[in-house]
């Protein structure tokens, strides 16, 4: 997301949220964002020039982002997505990432769902199962 100062002039990079570590903007130049901006994923504010150039996070940071997503998703309790669709989506994303469904991280699922609109959103997962852990467990046992 943020342009790393060590790069040459005119070079661009991707900008990642410093809170949830998901992609916010691609091919940005200079410090990003140029003005305070709200992350479309976790909805937290990103200060001027505070975006990250990669999705790498310190240990535990991705767990913090998962808490933000879970809180948001729990506030929406209506969904047109069936539990079977949710289980299939979790298995699909886990397979794409080379993981078992019961080990798939919520943040990794959110990243894929934000790029692939055919996947149910986290709010649909929570509406169907009440928790991420239960959804993963059911996706693993229903396979």
Report residue 7's pLDDT band, with 50, 70 and 90 as the boundaries: very low
Residues 70, 133: one domain? yes
* Host domain of residue 93: 61-141
Residues 38, 65: one domain? no
What confidence tens digit (pLDDT) does each residue in 31-82 have? 899 999 998 877 889 999 999 888 776 655 556 666 666 666 666 656 788 9
Asked whether the predicted pLDDT for residue 8 surpasses 60, the reply is no
Distance, CA of 101 to CA of 90 (rounded, Å): 6
Please report, rounded to a whole number, the percentage of residues in the chain having pLDDT higher than 70.
76
Q: Map the chain to HEC letters.
A: CCCCCCCCCCCCEEEECCCCCCEEEEEECCCCCCCCEECCCCCCEECCCCCECCCCCCCCHHHHHHHHHHHHHHCCCCCCCCHHHHHHHHHHHHHHHCCCHHHCCHHHHHHHHHHCCCCCCHHHHHHHHCCHHHHHHHHHHCC
**pLDDT at 40 (0 to 100):** 84
Asked whether the predicted pLDDT for residue 22 surpasses 70, the reply is yes
Residues 66, 123: one domain? yes
Distance, CA of 28 to CA of 15 (rounded, Å): 7
Report residue 116's pLDDT band, with 50, 70 and 90 as the boundaries: very high
What confidence tens digit (pLDDT) does each residue in 123-132 have? 888 888 888 8
What Rg value do the Cα atoms of the chain yield, rounded?
16
Residues 67, 45: one domain? no
Distance, CA of 85 to CA of 23 (rounded, Å): 25
């Amino acid at each position: 997301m943020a342009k790393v100062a060590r790069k040459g002039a005119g070079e661009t990079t991707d900008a990642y949220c410093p809170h949830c570590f998901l992609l916010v903007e691609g091919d940005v130049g200079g410090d990003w964002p140029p003005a305070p901006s709200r992350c479309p994923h976790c909805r937290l504010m990103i200060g001027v020039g505070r975006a990250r150039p990669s999705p790498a996070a310190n240990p535990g940071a991705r767990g913090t982002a998962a808490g933000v997503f879970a809180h948001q998703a729990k506030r929406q309790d209506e969904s047109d997505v069936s539990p079977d669709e949710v289980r299939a989506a979790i298995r699909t994303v886990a397979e794409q990432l080379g993981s078992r469904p019961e080990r798939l991280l919520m943040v990794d699922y959110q990243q894929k769902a934000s790029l692939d609109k055919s996947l149910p959103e986290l709010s649909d997962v929570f509406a169907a199962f009440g928790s991420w852990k239960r959804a993963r467990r059911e996706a693993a046992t229903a396979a």
